[in-house]
Structure 1
């Protein structure tokens, strides 16, 4: 048994957690204290930064769009920063609807979120391919994040865990953990109805399922998608397992 905690209680980030401990290929567990996912890191306190230093965090991968990362930039001591920008689309689509006088409803928001996840698969493969390339360089502890650590980050975490052989239901469980951990900023929302905010600022199983249905429909399955679009072939997957799975005994 390990006494590692999955969620790290930081003051300036609410969705920072470890992907370790899940059973992967051959029953080998994902190594603890190597792979972290989070919401944005611009609000970290000095104590938070010290806590990340104790984790020996060495790499940060920022999936936020360019304006998002510019508005809330950060630098962590001894951590190499890499921008892999995926531009947000849901807020932009909502604003376009508002300008056109169209009402945003929860079902429309749900469809927008599903479309967003399908777009991760088709439009943002290069960013996820770059993330895997960095993962394959070495096993120094890293964090990948976006603004809320739920959509771009959630899909990235799901890809990594599934590439390591973690079962689909476990991957979904990790994905949905955001609903328990993420603290929504008090300033968001404007005039949007609460039911709409609850769609946009939370995660639902059918969001992630929309992405993997697109992977199956358009690429013939995850193995093909990893190899053809993310440049993660069998040899790369074997190295990924060597780096991030705990050997037996």
Structure 2
């Protein structure tokens, strides 16, 4: 089985007998000092975080309890659903592929199922070729991941636009997720925080929190052959593939900054967020 097939199968984790990664904690800047309360207390949650509390450039604060980012929710327990029910989550934007959703279905209790938005597509790891990953260095793996991020930005543009449409319509609290809650979800969170005028470095720090809160032991893995192939990857390559690095999200910001008009132009032209829409988002989701 190729490494590409392994990852498509959802194996964004170590094998059960593999060594754990030495995760790098995100910087303890004022922007993320409240990170301990940012992670939701869910027994079966995966990287499930509140985007509230971040300061914007004009001194406002992103509202708590309305914008949530997460990994796959298939591990949620009855007590977790009860907790989320108290939060009143109305909308979930699930960025996972058809195969990922089928492999790890989420069974919300019938009386509290939110509106779930998802597209049917086949995951291609943003065009990455992992056939030679076993021979990569950590630097090569990080470079490969960084090169894939601009394609994530493009491939999921339609789903990101739809997410913003839900936010503009006030269909919140809203949660958005992929499998690990770090790549597709990380780009989505960066776009939301940028639209809310949160400083760039704060956005990057929120992105890097996945190194602390993504739990590979909770990830859906493939069959025995897939797990065996995954276990043969060098530790530095595993860390690059299952973690996050600022170079990944900076590759997204290079695309955004190069757009005519920079971030404002990108939000307007690619996501339908002109001056009026941005003002509405900031009025609704900052205080």
Q: Deviations over 1:158-205 (max 9, x none)?
A: 110011011111111111111111111375633211111100000111
Give the drift of 1:24: 2.0
Give the drift of 1:88: 4.2
Distance 1:85 1:26 in 2: 39
Distance 2:172 2:281 in 1: 13
Aligned 8 A contact 2:69 2:181 in 1: yes
* Pair 239,141 (structure 1): closer, same or farther in 2 beyond 3 Å: same
Aligned to 1:79: 114
Gapped regions of structure 2 (runs ≥ 5): 1-33, 222-226
* Pair 134,179 (structure 1): closer, same or farther in 2 beyond 3 Å: same
Distance 1:69 1:24 in 2: 34
Q: Deviations over 1:85-131 (max 9, x none)?
A: 67544497354446xxx733322221221122111233332221111
Aligned to 1:147: 179
Aligned to 1:163: 195
Distance 1:183 1:116 in 2: 22
Aligned to 2:164: 132
* Pair 129,37 (structure 1): closer, same or farther in 2 beyond 3 Å: same
Aligned to 1:244: 285
* Pair 85,178 (structure 1): closer, same or farther in 2 beyond 3 Å: farther
Give the drift of 1:73: 1.5
Question: Which residue of 6, 10, 18 corresponds with 2:50?
Answer: 18
Aligned to 1:222: 263
Gapped regions of structure 1 (runs ≥ 5): none
Distance 1:123 1:220 in 2: 22
Q: Deviations over 1:39-96 (max 9, x none)?
A: 1001111111111111111111101122111211113223111114675444973544
Distance 1:231 1:31 in 2: 22
* Pair 211,92 (structure 1): closer, same or farther in 2 beyond 3 Å: closer
Q: CA RMSD in A?
A: 2.3
